[in-house]
Amino acid sequence: MKLLACHIENFGKLSDLSVEFSDGINVINESNAWGKSTLAAFLKAMFYGLDAKKEPKAFDKERNIYRPWQGGSFGGELDFEINGKRYRISRSFGRTEKSDEFHLYDLATNLESQDYSENIGVELFELDSASFKRSIYIAQNDCASAASDSINAKLGNLAENTDDINNFEAASSRMKALLLQLTPDRVTGSIKRRKGLITQLEQEIHALEAAQEGLNGVEVMESKVQERIDEMQNIRKDYAAALVIASEDARRKELYAQYDALCEEVADREKKMAVFQSVFPSGIPTQKEFEVQMKNVRLMEEAKAAVRNQAFTPAEKDTWNKLRDMFAMEKPTDERIDAAIQMLSEVDKQKEEIARQEATVSMYEVDLEREAEIPRFGSGYKLFIYIGIGMLLMGIAAYAAFYFKLLENSNAVILTGAVVIAVGLGLVLCGIGIFLRYKTQKSKKAWIDAAEAEHRELEEQHHLLSDTIAAMKENIRTVNAAIREFLGNYRIYCDVKEYPSRLYELKSQIREYERLKARQNVLIQEEESSERLRTEIMTFAEEYGFVLGDDLTAGLNTLQNKATEYKMAANAYQDSLNKKENFQKRQDKSFWSREMRCPYTVTELNHMIEEADRSLDELKTARAQYSKQAEELKEQLDLRDEKAAELLRQRNLQEDDLRTYNLVSAAHSFLQKAKEQLTARYMEPITKGFSKYYQMLTGDGRGEWMIDANINLKVREYGELRDTKWLSAGYQDLTGICMRLALVDAMYKEEKPFLILDDPFVNLDQEKVECGNRLLLSVAEEYQVIYFTCHHSRSPV
Amino acid sequence: MRMIHCADLHLDSKMTANLSKDQARERKAEILRTFSKMVEYAQKNNVTAILIAGDMFDTRNVSVNVRNAVRDIIWKNPDIDFLYLRGNHDTDNFLCKLEEIPDNLCLFTNKWVTYSYEKITVTGIELDAENALTAYNSLVLDHEKFNIVTMHGQLAGYKSKDNAEVISLDDLKNKNIDYLALGHIHTFQMEQLDNRGVYCYSGCLEGRGFDECGPKGFVVLDIDPKTRTATTEFVSIAARTLYTIPVDLTGIHTTQEGAERMEAAIAGAGVSSKSLVKFLLQGKVDVECELNTEFLEEQFAEYFYFIKVENQTKLMVNYEDYANDISLKGEFIRLVYASDLSEEEKSLVIRTGIQALQGEEISL
């Protein structure tokens, strides 16, 4: 098969590009970024279309990568020849695979051909798109790059060190490692380990399953114990109810005892009361009566005491007798005595008045007999007159002297003044003296008139007083006579002088008489009262059949005590009757039936309840133990559930791991088998082809190389087969191209394809480039080669 | 009168299935806190009674702190009745540890027990093997009252798990039930029971696993006893919500493309960062598609409280593509294709081989 020409409408950066292809080598010498890879991709796309999937490590899908940069129709045409027939592939690409269009034309007729379908690539080469690309395309190698493994890297999966057969060992190791990690046959495998864990969990769960049985048993036991507790609690409740009845019985019994005691008490007290009833046949004095009589006793005693206290002493008795005789006839009143005393007092006063009047009379007589003496009146006025005259004289003398010029040297004015003053003064003083003399004479005359009037009055009074004195003396005699008579009535005879004292004594005697008389009256009264009370008390006692004896108080007390005892007995009897009555009232009907309703006593029932409580405690303890046991078993069941969940999880994991293990195991097995088949199918043709090209390249036919089962080339160097990575980069590239060409030989057994080489010798030195070029020229005899380069030095033609 | 119907609290659940130890501890506390929040809601909204239709606890032995917390919540809310019907997960471990049963904790037994609130009755029975068949015939309800019946179990016709008893809806029809409050199913569900009433699974308060996705909470019934009618409202209260997000990866070739599909799936889905999310990778991917679920889990780990990526994609192998592939891979695929493995096994074996050849970690 060979390419004839192509026209690129738009594909990636290429647009409206037409290329003619010839047999042998077609060199396209263009600079970098011209679009050599795009042209190669276009050629592949014409046969295979665009890949729907994104290639590993590609940055996007082909459709997106090669969508025309400038827009426009996406696609082109490719003319090729096969088996002597020429065809034209026309493809246009839409946004999706569905909108792609494919046409195949027979160039001989220009009619659409049905010789091949749109899968023309596969139909022609029996290779898929990827295999085609890997095999015929030695992709672009950057001319600037010096990477030693770049050629090898572009030789396709079979020969390149990427992700296919050369990665088999790594893939196999990875799967083995995973299988080892999972293996059910070794303890290092998770499946084996988990199997142990699952077994352990199953055993643990099995062991814990017993807890369910145990729990069931414990719950049954707990339930039984609970039933017994309920039963025992019911029994205890019955006992408690019986205890209430028994307590009631006991209480009633106690009440019966109380009632019987009350009855006995009533009888006993009635008996005692009957004894006292014989003591008081006429009845019992009341308390009030006793109180009255006791009061009488007290009053009687008080009367007696009063009699004793008020009794006269012998002296008082003598006095009493004397005074009683003295005043037997009449007892003077105090008023009379006081009147007599008053009269005596008046007499005394009259006597004193008489004496004084008599003295006055005597004085009047003396005064009447004495010459009246004129008192001396003042003579001071004479001095004023004398001095006044003297001053006048002196003034006159002075004037005379001046007048007679006796005093010539004297100042006339002064002298005149002095004369005037002296005369003036003399005149004033004389005037005063005259006035004073007048006044004195007038006073003297008044005094003499008064003295004469007084004398006359004295005479009149003298006569009057003399009469009065005579009258008073008469009165005194009368009074004394009356008092003497008064005192004589009470056998009192004494001198006039003793009258007052005797009157006072009489008054005292009257007081004493009255006092003694009052005492005498009290005595009589108390004696009478005492006797009356005594009679009354005796009568009272006799009325109730008692004789009190002399000691009324003791008798009365005895009587009262007996009455009190009787009353107490009666009260006690009444109390007991009341108590009995009240007791009877308090009791309900049931009380009067003396039948006991509980066969057990309270003590017996208490004992039975204690027993029941003890049993209940034991049962509750047992229940608590069962409860605790059940709790522990429930914890174990919770643990069982947890372990069951864990077991389920582990089983799921185990299932997953087993599935993974089986799948990985199968995958490993298939991969191993695939590798064996692949190498078996291609090993010999590749070896043969490599030998041919290696010899063509090196001229070395000794076979100092070997291709291993992984189609890895090893070359003998210094006596040892070494991996090509130990070779120089240029040598690696050359051997890689040989391998690639050998591979193409092996793969394309029928129709040989064209080869696209994208500047494969960029890493080689000139010598090696020439070797390569020679190799290519040889290859071009068999294959159509499209050779891209960016430098003419590497062009083989 | 207002009443709350809740169920399947599963307090004290270990929560260790998916979560780390710290997360499990945190979620355990959150579940208890959510219960407390529900009671606070009841207190604020004058709710008379909270009906717990089974599975208040998760384990036989309830831990002391949870037991005390629940007891205190009940004691501190004496004006709210807690009608507690025990489910298949509940044991008497909680009740028997109480020194005394609070007055407001109302229990049910294996015989019908009724609590009345004026003209509203709440009747319940704890089903067991003995009464499971006989319970229905002994249920008699006054047609003049608003009758709530509560039970815990799986509806007949569905597979029962965890030894839950089966509830026969047919046997509960035409028995004057106005609201059948059920527990056991962890997702809210309300359907017509008969001409008169509805049946309702309130679901759990907090989702615990990815079989309990979506909003979780309780149902509030506002009942008018005069008209014998009630309005119901589902109140979502869960601290965190679980989501299972399916992602179709058909046609992708790389993990990054898968990540982009996942990004697209959560974009605009309104999933809170507090959520627990499981990505369910679905669709058909090429056998050579490189898909690393661990990488995806790492990439999305910071988006949510918890993330899990489950790969359920089917492998797609176009054997014709490899028919003319002259390579070890082509040979390998052709060999596998020719084997008698099942299609699924073939695709998995091929994926394994390709992953190995490409130096990728083998993951199936």
In this complex, do A634 and B60 lie within 8 Å of one another by their Cβ atoms?
yes
Distance CA A222, CA A622 (A): 8
Q: Which pLDDT belongs to residue A142?
A: 31
Q: Which pLDDT belongs to residue A310?
A: 79
DSSP-derived secondary structure for B227-264: TTEEEEEEEE--SS-EEEEEEE-TT--SHHHHHHHHHH
In this complex, do B352 and A664 lie within 8 Å of one another by their Cβ atoms?
yes
In this complex, do A670 and B335 lie within 8 Å of one another by their Cβ atoms?
yes
CA distance A249 to chain B (A): 37
For chain A, the straight-line distance linking the first and the last C-alpha, in angstroms and rounded, comes to: 22
Distance CA B356, CA B334 (A): 17
Residue A680: is its pLDDT beyond 60? yes
DSSP B323: T
CA distance A12 to chain B (A): 23
In this complex, do A631 and B93 lie within 8 Å of one another by their Cβ atoms?
yes
Hey, what are A545's tokens?
A: 């059949």
Distance CA B284, CA B248 (A): 8
Mean pLDDT of chain A: 82
CA distance B289 to chain A (A): 9
B339-358: pLDDT as tens digits: 999 988 888 898 888 888 87
Hey, what are A568's tokens?
A: 């107490």
Q: Check if the beta carbon of residue B61 is closer than 8 Å to that of residue A638.
A: yes
Q: Where are the alpha helices (DSSP H) in A334-375?
A: 334-369
Q: Which pLDDT belongs to residue B223?
A: 95
Considering only the beta carbons, identify the residue of B61, B325, B331 that sits closest to A638.
B61
Distance CA A442, CA A435 (A): 11
Interface of B with A (CB under 8 A): 14, 17, 59-61, 91, 93, 96, 253-254, 286, 288, 321-332, 334-336, 339, 341, 345, 348-350, 352-353, 356-359, 362, 364
CA distance B161 to chain A (A): 14
Distance CA A28, CA A785 (A): 11
CA distance B215 to chain A (A): 26
Q: Give per-residue burial for B343-360: e unless 16+ CB within 10 Å, then b.
A: eebbbbbbbbbbbbbbeb
Judging contacts by C-beta atoms under 8 Å, the chain B residues touching residue A165 are 327-328
Q: B324, B343, B345, B350: best mutation site toward chain A, by most A Cβ within 10 Å?
A: B324
A49: left (phi over 0), alpha (psi -120 to 50) or beta: left
Hey, what are A530's tokens?
A: 């005492």
In this complex, do B328 and A135 lie within 8 Å of one another by their Cβ atoms?
no
CA distance B90 to chain A (A): 12
Query: Backbone phi, then psi, for A549, in 5-degree steps?
Result: 80, -170
Please, which residues have CB within 8 angstroms of residue B64's CB and are 6 or more apart in sequence? none
E-state strands within A129-201: 137-138
Residue A90: is its pLDDT beyond 60? yes
Residue A149: is its pLDDT beyond 50? no
CA distance A242 to chain B (A): 29
What is the number of H-type helices and E-type strands within chain B? 8, 19
In this complex, do A56 and B288 lie within 8 Å of one another by their Cβ atoms?
yes
Distance CA A773, CA A759 (A): 11
Place of tokens 């029996």: A126
In this complex, do A128 and B321 lie within 8 Å of one another by their Cβ atoms?
yes
- If residue A170 lies in a helix (H) or strand (E), which one and from where to where? helix A168-182
Distance CA B339, CA B350 (A): 12
In this complex, do B357 and A127 lie within 8 Å of one another by their Cβ atoms?
no
Closest to A312 measured CA to CA, from A121, A513, A16, A86: A513
Judging contacts by C-beta atoms under 8 Å, the chain A residues touching residue B14 are 642
Task: Give residues 677 to 716 of A whose Cβ lies within 8 Å of B.
Answer: 677-678, 682
A42-73: pLDDT as tens digits: 988 999 898 877 665 556 678 888 888 777 88
**How many angstroms separate the most distant Cα atoms in chain A?**
234
Q: Where are the alpha helices (DSSP H) in A699-728?
A: none
The pLDDT confidence band at residue B160, using thresholds 50, 70 and 90, is low
DSSP-derived secondary structure for A566-610: HHHHHHHHHHHHHHHHHHHHH--GGGG------SS-HHHHHHHHH
Considering only the beta carbons, identify the residue of A53, A167, A178 that sits closest to B362.
A178
Distance CA B327, CA A220 (A): 73
Q: Is A318's Cβ below 8 Å from some Cβ in B?
A: no
CB-defined contacts A:B, below 8 A: 129
Please, which residues have CB within 8 angstroms of residue B202's CB and are 6 or more apart in sequence? B5, B6, B7, B8, B53, B181, B182, B183, B188, B217, B218, B219, B234
Task: Give residues 463 to 502 of A whose Cβ lies within 8 Å of B.
Answer: none
Q: Which of helix, strand or coil describes residue A161?
A: coil
Q: Which of helix, strand or coil describes residue B22?
A: helix
Q: Check if the beta carbon of residue A330 is closer than 8 Å to that of residue A592.
A: no
- Which of the given ranges, A322-336, A759-773, B24-38, has the highest pLDDT on average? B24-38
Distance CA A615, CA A239 (A): 14
Q: Is B53 exposed, middle or buried (0-12, 13-18, 19+ CB in 10 A)?
A: buried
Distance CA A46, CA A9 (A): 12
CA distance B74 to chain A (A): 24
The pLDDT confidence band at residue A682, using thresholds 50, 70 and 90, is confident
Q: Check if the beta carbon of residue A87 is closer than 8 Å to that of residue A113.
A: yes
CA distance B363 to chain A (A): 8
In this complex, do B288 and A53 lie within 8 Å of one another by their Cβ atoms?
yes
Domains of chain B, CATH where assigned: 2-236 (3.60.21.10), 241-315 (no CATH), 317-364 (no CATH)
Q: Is A172's Cβ below 8 Å from some Cβ in B?
A: yes
DSSP B214: B
- If residue A302 lies in a helix (H) or strand (E), which one and from where to where? helix A287-310
User: Is beta strand A705-707 parallel, antiparallel or unpaired with respect to A137-138?
Assistant: unpaired
ipTM: 0.73
User: Is beta strand A2-11 parallel, antiparallel or unpaired with respect to A75-82?
Assistant: antiparallel
User: Is beta strand B198-201 parallel, antiparallel or unpaired with respect to B189-192?
Assistant: antiparallel
Hey, what are A293's tokens?
A: 């009589």
Judging contacts by C-beta atoms under 8 Å, the chain A residues touching residue B326 are 127, 131, 135, 158, 682, 747
Judging contacts by C-beta atoms under 8 Å, the chain B residues touching residue A656 are 364
- Residue of chain B with shortest Cα separation from A54: B253
Distance CA A788, CA A766 (A): 17
Considering only the beta carbons, identify the residue of A54, A631, A659 that sits closest to B61.
A631
Q: Is A642's Cβ below 8 Å from some Cβ in B?
A: yes
Per-residue CA distances from A722 to A149, A716, A719, A740 (Å): 16, 6, 9, 19
- Residue of chain B with shortest Cα separation from A128: B324
The residue that leads in pLDDT, B51 or A383, is B51
Averaged over A620-635, what is the pLDDT? 86
Judging contacts by C-beta atoms under 8 Å, the chain A residues touching residue B323 are 122, 128
- Residue of chain B with shortest Cα separation from A672: B332
Q: Which pLDDT belongs to residue A58?
A: 59
Place of tokens 């294709």: B337
A401-422: pLDDT as tens digits: 777 766 566 677 787 888 888 8
Judging contacts by C-beta atoms under 8 Å, the chain B residues touching residue A668 are 353, 356
Judging contacts by C-beta atoms under 8 Å, the chain B residues touching residue A660 are 362, 364
Judging contacts by C-beta atoms under 8 Å, the chain B residues touching residue A634 are 60-61, 91, 93
In this complex, do A157 and B353 lie within 8 Å of one another by their Cβ atoms?
no
In the sheet that holds B81-85, the strands lie side by side as: B105-107, B81-85, B47-53, B2-6, B217-224, B229-236
In this complex, do B327 and A174 lie within 8 Å of one another by their Cβ atoms?
no
In this complex, do B325 and A174 lie within 8 Å of one another by their Cβ atoms?
no
Distance CA A736, CA A744 (A): 12
A572-588: pLDDT as tens digits: 888 889 988 988 888 87
In this complex, do A168 and B328 lie within 8 Å of one another by their Cβ atoms?
yes
A105-137: pLDDT as tens digits: 999 998 999 999 998 988 888 777 777 776 777
Judging contacts by C-beta atoms under 8 Å, the chain B residues touching residue A632 are none
Averaged over B248-268, what is the pLDDT? 91
Judging contacts by C-beta atoms under 8 Å, the chain A residues touching residue B356 are 170-172, 174-175, 667-668, 671
Per-residue CA distances from B218 to B78, B200, B226 (Å): 21, 11, 25
Residue B287: is its pLDDT beyond 50? yes
How far is CA A356 from its chain centroid?
117
The pLDDT confidence band at residue B70, using thresholds 50, 70 and 90, is very high
Q: Check if the beta carbon of residue B126 is closer than 8 Å to that of residue B150.
A: no
A269-317: pLDDT as tens digits: 888 888 877 777 777 888 888 888 888 888 888 888 888 887 888 888 8
Averaged over B106-116, what is the pLDDT? 94
In this complex, do B93 and A170 lie within 8 Å of one another by their Cβ atoms?
no
Q: How many CB atoms lie within 10 A of CB A781?
A: 10
CA distance B302 to chain A (A): 26
Q: A44, A164, A190, A646: best mutation site toward chain B, by most B Cβ within 10 Å?
A: A164
A429-485: pLDDT as tens digits: 888 888 888 887 787 778 878 877 877 787 787 788 888 888 888 888 888 888 888
CA distance A132 to chain B (A): 8
The residue that leads in pLDDT, B52 or A719, is B52
Q: Is A126's Cβ below 8 Å from some Cβ in B?
A: yes
Q: Which pLDDT belongs to residue B200?
A: 97
Q: How many CB atoms lie within 10 A of CB A545?
A: 11
